Amino acid sequence: MSQNQFDKKSTAWSALFSEPMSDLVKRYTASVFFDKRLWQADIQGSLAHAEMLCHQKIISAEDHQAIQAGLRTIAADIEAGRFDWQLSLEDVHFNIEARLIAIIEASGGGDAGKRLHTGRSRNDQVATDVRLWLRGEIDLILGLLTELQKALLEVAEDNVDVILPGFTHLQVAQPISFGHHMLAYVEMFSRDGERMVDVRRRTNRLPLGAAALAGTSYPLDRERVATTLGMVDAQGQPQVCQNSLDAVSDRDFAIEFTAAASLCMVHISRFSEELILWMSQNFGFIQIADRFTTGSSIMPQKKNPDVPELARGKTGRVVGHLMGLITLMKGQPLAYNKDNQEDKEPLFDTVDTLKDTLRIFAEMVGGQLNPESGVKEGGITVHPEAMTRAAHKGYATATDLADYLVKKGLPFRDAHETVAHAVKAAISHECDLSELPLNVLQEFNPSIEKDVYDVLILRGSLNARDILGGTAPTQVRLQIERHQARLTRQ
């Protein structure tokens, strides 16, 4: 065997090398075990590239046909689990290309397989694959975000009039509607959706045609490929990366996606923290269905909120991936560097974690459809009495008393001070503000009249916040309608 003949079949660039790659280096540099996940995007990209090569008369119609048929056979084989992925072929791109060449040769189609890579490099190929794959995943994530928002809206709708204490500093602050509280998360997840739509727009641009880094001398029609791949804007105009160096080297779309995913997980994590608190014995506000909890191996009474706890934990993992990806990019000179192969595992894991989390939360919050009864079952159970009881503690209507005095003509600062005295008195009487007799209240300010009790009760406090974005049930109902209309439009 001549010096250059080693391992010829199993690598695509061996002729130059005087010794084979060591097994350790093969394992270290290979990505096929994780990037084989991109196979559909890889084949989709190759089909579009081959079609364009034929259209531009760079390859013949026969070669195009052979490539098409070969790629379809490969797709079917991978789908059926019949494809033999080889570590020595490094990555998903080389594995598929090598198989294509072999299939076509074996079927008498000559060297058509070897022509597919004309005007293309793995650098623009991989950037295209990741973008195509991520675009599909973003679409799935958008659907899951909608499902979660719908589940939260259902809970909001059922609990507009349920009062719980709103907290600041985790100290009782003011009474709020539980529906209003749920809608706060609907807002967050709707912004997460907006961010995903925005990231999708920048992800959906075509690197192919950039070749290794400088573009190519073949008369490729990049816009044709973009259109074939659905990389178009809202008006149907093809979206093509405009600088070849940038096209192959930047992964900012992946970083942006992971940043959007991190924020979404942070929202999930805050919600998790609340669910965990609310279902603790000290709050007793809600229960989540047993199938989302686990028991203890030693304490027989325990039902632990594992799902929200894990979601809170997995948020750290996704934020970690964001740090990983952004750090991966920071020292890289233009254009492509192998560092970029490291973009995949964090990106894949971010997508998997986010999708699983959104799916499980939609079900945990909203329940599951019972096909027999046609109703959803097993969502969160709300305990309104416990919430109202808690809202009665902590002088949640103190601000309402101050506002009442302002309406009587007192400056707010003086009213604030007056109410502080009233709260102090209520604490020493061990009662709520609404339980102080009128004559006692009048000692703090003589303008206080009987109607003060309307504002001191929780419902009065709630109804008073009848302002856009406020917690008054009329406002909450308007917001629910707005969100419902928005989500049905999507």
Among 338, 430, 485, 489, binds ligand ARG (CB under 6 A): 338
Task: Report the residue number, 97 or 192, with the smaller CB distance to ligand ARG.
Answer: 97
- Alpha-carbon distance of 178 to 163, in angstroms, equals 6
Q: What is the nearest approach in angstroms of ligand ARG to the Cβ of residue 211?
A: 11
User: Is residue 340 involved in binding ligand ARG (CB under 6 A)?
Assistant: yes
Phi-psi region of 436 (alpha: psi -120 to 50; beta: other; left: phi over 0): beta
Task: Report the residue number, 200 or 344, with the smaller CB distance to ligand ARG.
Answer: 344
Residues 156-215 that bind ligand ARG (CB under 6 A): none
Among the listed ranges 49-57, 120-128, 230-238, 303-311, the one in contact with ligand ARG (CB under 6 A) is 120-128
Which of these, 30, 255, 34, 249, lies nearest to 123 by C-alpha position?
249
Token pair listed for 282: 């000290």
Give the bridge partners for 478, in sequence order.
Answer: none
What radius of gyration do the chain's Cα atoms show? 31
- Alpha-carbon distance of 143 to 197, in angstroms, equals 11
User: Is residue 122 involved in binding ligand ARG (CB under 6 A)?
Assistant: yes
User: Is residue 336 involved in binding ligand ARG (CB under 6 A)?
Assistant: yes
User: Is residue 31 involved in binding ligand ARG (CB under 6 A)?
Assistant: yes
- Alpha-carbon distance of 410 to 402, in angstroms, equals 9
Place of tokens 């719980």: 164
- Alpha-carbon distance of 382 to 385, in angstroms, equals 9
Task: Report the residue number, 330 or 338, with the smaller CB distance to ligand ARG.
Answer: 338
Residue type, 214: A
Q: How far apart are the first and last CA of the chain?
A: 63
Among the listed ranges 40-48, 98-106, 147-155, 335-343, the one in contact with ligand ARG (CB under 6 A) is 335-343
Total of chain residues touching ligand ARG, rule CB under 6 A: 10
What kind and span of H or E run contains 348? helix 344-366
177 is catalytic: no
User: Is residue 444 involved in binding ligand ARG (CB under 6 A)?
Assistant: no
The contact mask relative to ligand ARG for 286-325 (x = CB under 6 A, - = no) is ----------------------------------------
- Alpha-carbon distance of 296 to 207, in angstroms, equals 52
Helix, strand, or coil (residue 81): coil
Angle, vertex CA 328, rays to CA 255 and CA 258, nearest 5? 20
Place of tokens 């623009």: 124
- Alpha-carbon distance of 12 to 97, in angstroms, equals 9
Token pair listed for 38: 């991109």
169 is catalytic: yes
Q: What is the nearest approach in angstroms of ligand ARG to the Cβ of residue 212?
A: 7
3-state helix, strand, coil in the chain (%, to 5): 65, 5, 30
Q: What is the nearest approach in angstroms of ligand ARG to the Cβ of residue 129?
A: 9
Among the listed ranges 118-126, 274-282, 306-314, 386-394, the one in contact with ligand ARG (CB under 6 A) is 118-126
Length of the chain: 490
Among the listed ranges 16-24, 62-70, 313-321, 332-340, the one in contact with ligand ARG (CB under 6 A) is 332-340
Residues 251-290 that bind ligand ARG (CB under 6 A): none
Q: What is the nearest approach in angstroms of ligand ARG to the Cβ of residue 285?
A: 48
Residues 33-52 that bind ligand ARG (CB under 6 A): 35
Task: Report the residue number, 97 or 256, with the smaller CB distance to ligand ARG.
Answer: 97
User: Is residue 91 involved in binding ligand ARG (CB under 6 A)?
Assistant: yes
Residue type, 384: P
Angle, vertex CA 62, rays to CA 57 and CA 64, nearest 5? 65
Q: What is the nearest approach in angstroms of ligand ARG to the Cβ of residue 217?
A: 19
Q: What is the nearest approach in angstroms of ligand ARG to the Cβ of residue 93?
A: 6
User: Is residue 128 involved in binding ligand ARG (CB under 6 A)?
Assistant: no
Task: Report the residue number, 328 or 455, with the smaller CB distance to ligand ARG.
Answer: 328
Catalytic site residue from 2, 18, 169, 373? 169
CB 193 within 8 A of CB 146: yes
CB 331 within 8 A of CB 345: no
Q: What is the nearest approach in angstroms of ligand ARG to the Cβ of residue 338?
A: 6
Q: Three-class SS string for 349-401?
A: HHHHHHHHHHHHHHHHHHCEECCCCCCEECCCEECHHHHHHHHHCCCCCHHHH
Task: Report the residue number, 28 or 169, with the smaller CB distance to ligand ARG.
Answer: 28
Catalytic site residue from 296, 421, 429, 447? 296
User: Is residue 341 involved in binding ligand ARG (CB under 6 A)?
Assistant: yes
User: Is residue 126 involved in binding ligand ARG (CB under 6 A)?
Assistant: yes
Task: Report the residue number, 42 or 147, with the smaller CB distance to ligand ARG.
Answer: 42
Residues binding ligand ARG (CB under 6 A): 31, 35, 91, 122-123, 126, 336, 338, 340-341
Active site residues: 169, 296
